[in-house]
Chains A and B, each alone.
Chain A
Amino acid sequence: MPYLSGNQLVQQLRTHPELDTTPVVMLTAKADDELRVQLLRQGAQDYLMKPFSVEELKARVGNLIAIKRVRDLLQEELASQNHDLEALVEEVSLRRRELQIALNALQHQAEELEQANRLKDEFLAIVSHELRTPLNSILGWAEALRTRQFNETITNRALETIERNARLQTQLIENLLDISRLLRGKLLLNRHSVDLKTVIEAAMQTVQPEATAKAIHLEATLNDAVYPISGDSDRLRQVVENLLANAIKFTSEGGRVAVRLDQQHAEARIQVSDTGQGIRAEVLPHIFDYFRQADSSNTRRHGGLGLGLAIVRQLVELHGGIIQVESAGEGQGATFTVILPLIETSTPPVYLR
């Protein structure tokens, strides 16, 4: 053919993938044996030698078209199978991601469990140490007083030491029992109308000797006009006492501990602030956790079970209140704020609601 020979046409056709399935029938002269073979190799499907019979041409074209149809059908089927396979791959990779996420969560849970277990072990070690410390003084002095003679000054100091340590141990045991009751949800409040000012003053009286011993100035700004709240006065005193004792414990000699009581809308607010060692930012979120003290068991500077603040939070929450803590950091002191709902006089009694 002019411009483009049949052979060039076949070559070009086969460079187009979309024409890949289009059958090509060559019409060749008898002398073109070599060219025929070459074109068949290059991708032509069939040939007819000129001169050809129309019937033969029809038959061959018909065959090729039938083959192409089957091929197209197969191609379609393959494409759809491919599509299904891709969807399957997608699904598998999605499931794999989900599995990985689940695995990560599981790993995280395992780590948390391990951490909880370690905290429990640490806590038990602290408990046994803390319970033994006062016992050492009690037993030591009891034996010393029984087997030896001392002058009056030493004898008095010995008896005072025994008494103080016995009280300390009683307090530790009370705290342990409280925590156990709180964890089991067995701590019940003996609710009645409570005047918070009286509660705070009683708590201050209890901790005053500790403050005096460390030359810590204990000051109070208590608003007389705060409405009563519904609560357990013993437990509320425990809350304030704990916060005050804590503030005194972590404040160095000559420092200042202040307690405020005021009212905002339908809430009473008790604030205990100190000029003490403050709380590091990374410890703040865990300050009310059970079994935690900022120091680890081997280097602890302060005694105690690390249960005080956990008990305080639980007691405040049992009263329907919240507790917050703020500290600008180490050496910057700390402020604990307890917010308790006041008795709502307009609320009808429970049985009418």
Chain B
Amino acid sequence: MTILLPKLNFVTNRVMDRILVIDDIPDNTFLLQTLLEAEGYQVDVADSGIAGLAKIEAEPPDLVLLDVMMPDMNGFEVTQRIRHNPNLPFIPVVLVTGHDQPTAADGFDVGADGFIRKPVDFDQLLTQVRAILPPKIANDCTKLEN
């Protein structure tokens, strides 16, 4: 415990990984936000592709969790716009979809880094998110043990 404390201080000093959840259905964003916040991520939400892009351009997040089936601008288009914007750094995008039509390949074609089907399996979601954004406390503790 005595060894962990200074490390924990170090962790809180670091900026938490920021995830942007984009989904037009508020029930979905609320669920994902609650779960990811419980895992120690900072979560912001947007209720449309256009609103999401505006947030991404204003302050690029560390990961975008993106619903595919949305009105006006679907998740594929949002992904393409992120990839084609030279002013943005590389931002990992994980697509979330309940629709049968798009396959994982379609998602990867437009430049997505992950693909999750609804209903979202949390373990699967967290595995994908952790692979992209490793939990910092766990990492630091592991380093400590080593």
CB distance from A220 to the nearest CB of B (A): 29
Check B71 against A161 for contact (C-beta < 8 Å).
no
Check if B25 is an interface residue, CB within 8 A of chain A: yes
Inter-chain CB contacts under 8 Å: number: 55
Residues of A within 8 A of B59 (CB): none
Check A136 against B72 for contact (C-beta < 8 Å).
no
Given the interface pairs A139-B119, A295-B71, A300-B71, the reply to whether A133 lies near B98 with Cβ below 8 Å is yes
Check B69 against A132 for contact (C-beta < 8 Å).
no
Contact flags B71-110 to A (C-beta < 8 A → 1, else 0):
1101000000000000000000000001111000000000
Residue of A nearest to B74 (CB): A298
Check if A50 is an interface residue, CB within 8 A of chain B: no
Check B122 against A298 for contact (C-beta < 8 Å).
no
Residues of B within 8 A of A295 (CB): 71
Complex alpha-carbon distance, A319 and B28, angstroms:
40
Check B72 against A140 for contact (C-beta < 8 Å).
no
CB distance from A204 to the nearest CB of B (A): 25
Check if A347 is an interface residue, CB within 8 A of chain B: no
Complex alpha-carbon distance, A294 and B97, angstroms:
23
Given the interface pairs A132-B119, A299-B72, A301-B71, the reply to whether A165 lies near B27 with Cβ below 8 Å is yes
Complex alpha-carbon distance, A340 and B27, angstroms:
39
Complex alpha-carbon distance, A136 and B69, angstroms:
14
Check if A147 is an interface residue, CB within 8 A of chain B: yes
Residue of B nearest to A141 (CB): B31
Residues of A within 8 A of B28 (CB): 136-137, 140
Check B25 against A133 for contact (C-beta < 8 Å).
yes
Check if A66 is an interface residue, CB within 8 A of chain B: no
Residue of A nearest to B101 (CB): A125
Complex alpha-carbon distance, A144 and B36, angstroms:
11
126-142 of chain A: CB within 8 A of chain B = 128-129, 132-133, 135-137, 139-141
Given the interface pairs A129-B69, A132-B98, A133-B25, the reply to whether A154 lies near B122 with Cβ below 8 Å is no
Given the interface pairs A136-B98, A161-B27, A299-B72, the reply to whether A150 lies near B120 with Cβ below 8 Å is no
6-38 of chain B: CB within 8 A of chain A = 25, 27-28, 30-31, 34-35, 38
Check if B143 is an interface residue, CB within 8 A of chain A: no
CB distance from B88 to the nearest CB of A (A): 25
Q: Which of A136, A150, A157, A165 contacts B118 (CB 8 A)?
A: A136
Check B122 against A129 for contact (C-beta < 8 Å).
no
155-188 of chain A: CB within 8 A of chain B = 157-158, 161, 165
Check B71 against A144 for contact (C-beta < 8 Å).
no
196-243 of chain A: CB within 8 A of chain B = none
Residues of B within 8 A of A137 (CB): 27-28, 31
Check B38 against A148 for contact (C-beta < 8 Å).
yes
Check B119 against A140 for contact (C-beta < 8 Å).
yes
Check A140 against B120 for contact (C-beta < 8 Å).
yes
Residue of A nearest to B68 (CB): A298
Residues of B within 8 A of A136 (CB): 27-28, 98, 118-120
Complex alpha-carbon distance, A137 and B99, angstroms:
15
**Assuming A158-B34, A300-B71, what are 10 further A-B pairs, CB within 8 angstroms?**
A128-B100, A129-B99, A137-B27, A137-B28, A139-B119, A140-B119, A140-B122, A157-B30, A161-B27, A299-B72
